[in-house]
Amino acid sequence: MTEPEKLLKESKTGWEGIKKEQKEEIFSYCANYMEFLNKAKTEREIIKNAKELAVQKGFKNINEYDTLKAGDKVYYNNRNKSMYLAIIGQENIEKGIHIIGSHADSPRLDLKPNPLYEDSGYAYFKTHYYGGIKKYQWTAIPLAIHGIIVKPNGEKIEVVIGEEETDPIFTITDLLPHLATEQMERKLKEGIKGEELNLLIGSMPCESKKGVDSVKCNIMSILNEKYGITEMDFVSSELEIVPAFRTRSMGLDNSMIAGYGQDDKVCVYTSLTALLAIEQPKTTAVCIISDKEEIGSMGNTGMESHVFDTFLSEILNKLGINRPNLIDKIFCNSKMLSADVDAGYDPIYASAYEKNNAGFLGKGIGLNKYTGARGKTGASDANAEFVAEIRNIFETANISYEFAELGRVDLGGGGTIAYILANKGIDVIDCGVPVLSMHAPYEVTSKFDVYEAYRAYSAFWKA
Ligand code: MN
Ligand code: MN
């Protein structure tokens, strides 16, 4: 008879019985990850830093190759906001490719096209939030401005204000509790309304222009001096308001990481570094860093665009094997991990989860067979056969993993880029790091899970 401990699913924290060297390895990997997050808070900054790391490891822009062969490392930079990387495998690419796809964008506040105004002696930027946020979380915290302004002549000005110790920061004010009787009666959802998310950026009048809009004018003259822009130039800008805090090690035991944008930059970093550590894969390894996931993956940098297919077609052209429908055949033979974060079980909000099917911090990488909402609607639902294959890969490589659902049935739900690739015929499963306070300005992960994600992605590409 099989012993009971073999019959029942084991469920223990990954830290249990961990060796000193393993712990050191995890902590040093995570120190690099935290450093990466502090350099890259926006999708553009992610792509810039990812490209630098890839180039250091011998990746070249696909345009620099006339022909491709096994072992070649290529990337395609899609408008500085999304990126695809590939290492050509030894096996015939017609047998399929192995993809890991994450997203570089995170919830934030974007400046409106006409953002600048003055009211009662204060200058403000009007914002429009990007992605699913709890608006009240974005008041009374230090905020930074990151992004670009492009002039009609094509000149591109990069802006980062609020990251250096000597930089000013910005904030969105909240009402003092003494006068908040009415505000406190609002529903949490409306606690702070969209049109109240106005960034306070100045209060000093202009010397040369007295009266109406004098503070606004002073702000514009500061910006003109620093960047050579006028108010009209905001219309062709992408300026993002992100938390000004740094990513830090968290907990007295330093076991966790608190930082902005870990959804989904944690999967960007872990998959990218896993790819960069591979020399010669058997199957062609492809890494997707997509954009616009938080607002539905639309647009030419989102996963719904055909730019990824174009990149693959270009690979087939340069391998000299392309023919009609080959790309569709390859998709049907391919496998993918949709690398996106998962809701970590939070005991403070226990009723939002179903404990048997929740992802816990510290138990390794979290897999979701399906996401969706209300009866799995919108989910791609991985096939049992494919789930078994992934289990086999992870068990062979001794990876800690757990299977979860996104919260309690009928409570809410969500999606990732998984279904978009699954619709092409690829076998896809969601596989990422569990996060606490997802979509908040400060998100929490476990160092154990971050390193386990790196190991899991490596194992998938090496399999
Ligand atoms: Mn995500
Ligand atoms: Mn998200």
What pLDDT score was predicted for residue 132?
Answer: 96
Report the CATH number that the domain containing residue 156 is assigned in CATH: 2.30.250.10
- Give the Å distance between the CA of 265 and the centre of ligand 1: 9
Cα–Cα distance, 387 to 201 (Å, whole number): 51
Which ligand gives the minimal distance to the CA of 108?
2
Q: For residue 264, which ligand has an atom nearest its CA?
A: 1
Q: Categorize the per-residue pLDDT at 209 as very low, low, confident or very high, splitting at 50, 70 and 90.
A: confident
What is the 435 CA–ligand 2 centroid distance (Å)? 10
| One-letter identity of residue 410 | D
Backbone angles phi, psi at 151, to 5 degrees: -85, 160
Centre of ligand 2 from the C-alpha of residue 312, in Å: 26
Measure the CA dihedral 270/275/278/279, to 10°.
Answer: -150
Query: Does a structural domain hold residue 216?
Result: yes
CA of 192 to the centre of ligand 1 (A): 24
Pick the last residue of a domain from 243, 268, 296.
Answer: 243
Q: What is the DSSP letter of 87?
A: E
Q: Averaged over 448-460, what is the pLDDT?
A: 98
Domain-located, residue 115: yes
pLDDT level of residue 414 (50, 70, 90 thresholds): confident
Cα 413 to averaged position of ligand 1 atoms, centre (Å): 12
**Cα 148 to ligand 1 centre (Å):** 23
Chain segment 46-59, per-residue pLDDT in tens:
999 999 999 999 99
CA of 212 relative to ligand 1 center, distance in Å: 44
CA 78 to ligand 1 centroid distance, Å: 19
Ligand 1 centroid–CA 35 distance in Å is 20
Of the listed ligands, the closest to the CA of 265 is 1
Instruction: Say which residues have a Cβ less than 8 Å from residue 318's Cβ, sequence separation at least 6.
Output: 62, 65, 66, 67, 68
Helix, strand, coil percent values for the chain (each to nearest 5) = 35, 25, 40
Q: Give distance in angstroms: CA of 433 to centre of ligand 2.
A: 12
Determine the Cα–Cα distance for residues 377 and 410; give it in Å rounded to an integer: 11
What was the pLDDT predicted at 104?
A: 98
| Beta carbons within 8 Å of 94's beta carbon, 6+ residues apart | 321, 326, 329, 330, 333
pLDDT above 90: residue 318: yes
* Residue 73: domain span: 4-106+260-462
Q: How far is the CA of 272 from the centre of ligand 2 (A)?
A: 19
Cα of 133 vs centre of ligand 2, distance in Å, is 9
- State the distance from the centre of ligand 1 to the C-alpha of 68, rounded, in angstroms: 33
Please give the single-letter amino acid code of residue 81. Answer: K
Q: To the nearest 10°, the Cα dihedral for 171, 177, 178, 179?
A: 70
Gap from CA of 436 to ligand 1 centroid (Å): 13
Domain-terminating residue out of 193, 211, 243: 243
Q: What is the pLDDT of residue 204?
A: 97
CB 44 within 8 Å of CB 81: yes
**How many angstroms is it from 191 CA to the middle of ligand 2?**
22
User: Do 124 and 73 share a structural domain?
Assistant: no
**Residue 252 placed within a domain:** no
Q: Note whether 350 and 322 are same-domain residues.
A: yes
Position 5 pLDDT exceeds 90: no
Average pLDDT over residues 290-296: 97
Q: Strand (E) positions, 192-340?
A: 198-202, 237-243, 248-250, 256-259, 284-290, 335-338
Continuous H helices in 241-291: 262-276
pLDDT at 1 > cutoff 80: no
Ligand nearest 107 Cα, by number?
Answer: 2
11 pLDDT exceeds 90?
A: no
Tell me the C-alpha distance between 94 and 276, whole Å.
23
Helices (H) and strands (E) in the chain, counts: 11, 22
Domain count, the chain: 2
**Cα 453 to ligand 1 centroid, rounded to whole Å:** 15
> Which residue, 243, 278, 309, sits at the end of a domain?
243
- Ligand 1 center to residue 58 CA distance, Å? 29
In the chain, % of residues over pLDDT 90: 92
The verdict on 116 and 233 lying in the same domain is: yes
pTM of the model: 0.97
Supply the CATH number for residue 326's domain. Answer: 3.40.630.10
Q: How far is the CA of 9 from the centre of ligand 1 (A)?
A: 28
- Considering the domain architecture, whether residues 265 and 208 belong to the same structural domain is answered as no
Q: What is the average pLDDT score of the chain?
A: 96
Q: Identify the residue whose tokens are 């990954």.
A: 14
Ligand number with the minimum distance to the CA of 104: 1
| Through-space distance between the first and last CA atoms of the chain, rounded to whole angstroms | 33
What CA–CA distance (Å, rounded) separates 343 from 224? Answer: 44
Alpha helices (runs of H) in 102-169, residue ranges in sequence order = none
Residues 6+ apart with CB under 8 A from 253: none
pLDDT for position 208: 84
Cα(340) to ligand 2 centroid in Å equals 8
Q: Decide the pairing of beta strands 97-103 and 248-250.
A: unpaired
Sequence-ordered list of residues with C-beta below 8 angstroms from that of 330, at least 6 positions apart, any chain = 93, 94, 96, 97, 312, 316
List the beta bridge partners of residue 365. 401
CB-CB contact of 67 with 254 (8 Å): no
Cα 400 from Cα 362, distance rounded (Å): 9
Check whether residue 16 and residue 29 sit in a common domain.
yes
Is 210 a residue whose pLDDT tops 90?
A: no
Report pLDDT for 22. Answer: 97
pLDDT on residue 182? 97
Confidence class of residue 413 from pLDDT cuts 50, 70 and 90?
Answer: confident
Q: Are residues 323 and 446 in the same domain?
A: yes
Give the distance (Å) from ligand 2 centre to CA of residue 107. 7
Ligand 2 centroid vs 388 CA: distance in angstroms? 27
**Which bound ligand lies closest to the C-alpha atom of 131?**
2
Report which of 142, 163, 134, 127 is spatially closest to residue 239, judged by C-alpha positions: 127
Ligand nearest to the CA of 133: 2
Averaged over 227-234, what is the pLDDT? 98
Q: pLDDT by residue (tens digit) across 110-151?
A: 999 999 999 999 999 999 999 999 999 999 999 999 999 999
Question: Residue range 355-363: average pLDDT?
Answer: 96
Q: For residue 415, what pLDDT is reported?
A: 86
**Is 296 a residue whose pLDDT tops 80?**
yes
74 and 194 share one domain: no
Find the ligand nearest to 430 CA. 1
Query: Which band of pLDDT confidence, cut at 50, 70 and 90, is reported for residue 372?
Result: confident
